[in-house]
Amino acid sequence: METFTSWRTWDDARPDLLSAASGAYRPVIPVLDRAAAAAVRWHGDQLRPTGVPYVEHLLEALEVQVRGPGVQDPDVLVATLLHDVVEDTGASLGDVEKEFGPVVAELVDWVTKPPAEEGGGGGRAAKRAAKAAYLRRLRDAPREAILVKLADRVSNVQRLDQMPPDFQKRYYAETVTYVQPLAEGEPWFAAWFAGWSTHFGHLR
């Protein structure tokens, strides 16, 4: 199973993008410079559950897009770097649109999980139901937003065995049920998730 963990900082990613054989990524470097800086600024010192800087997740997702299906759409690449800023930081969709335009803001909006309703009760079950509804809604998302979500999930599940056992089973089921079907129209992602689901098949 191929994993994507080479780009831990933007200084790691940038030279690889510049030296890509086709030169296809050179025109998008300036906007990716800005997006990477914005991601660092907005996420600050946030950490992933594994204890590493949060920006590593964003760069993993970008590496997936580039080294996996070879996505070159600048809006998709920028949205991939910024996909969690509205959900997990103080940045708003308006902030994203102001700096990166309405298309990027729309893509980020599609992949942003709605906040839990205050006073709604229900605890974990209610939160899981709300997340399932959000994931089902992605079936209606434009292809570009689905690409962002798929790259995000590849980063999140490629090292699923580093997470607590109960989380592993739950997240495996969620991925197979809601996210893997989104990859059906994307050959590279479909093949990757097929291999991944087999690799972690013991979690069924």
Q: Where are the domains of the chain?
A: 10-203
Is 45 labeled as catalytic in the residue annotation? no
> Per-residue pLDDT for 160 more than 80?
yes
Spot the catalytic one: 2, 12, 33, 87. Answer: 87
What is the reported pTM?
0.94
> Per-residue pLDDT for 122 more than 80?
no
| Residue, of 128 and 204, whose pLDDT is higher | 204
Q: Is domain 10-203 in CATH 1.10.1740.10, yes or no? A: no
Tens of pLDDT, residue by residue over 105-115, are: 999 999 999 87
The pLDDT value recorded for residue 117 is 61
Sign of CA pseudo-dihedral 46, 105, 69, 12: negative
Is 88 labeled as catalytic in the residue annotation? yes
Spot the catalytic one: 16, 88, 97, 109. Answer: 88
CA 75-76-82 angle, 5° bins: 90
Percent of the chain with pLDDT over 70: 97
Q: Is 47 helix (H, G, I), strand (E, B) or coil?
A: strand
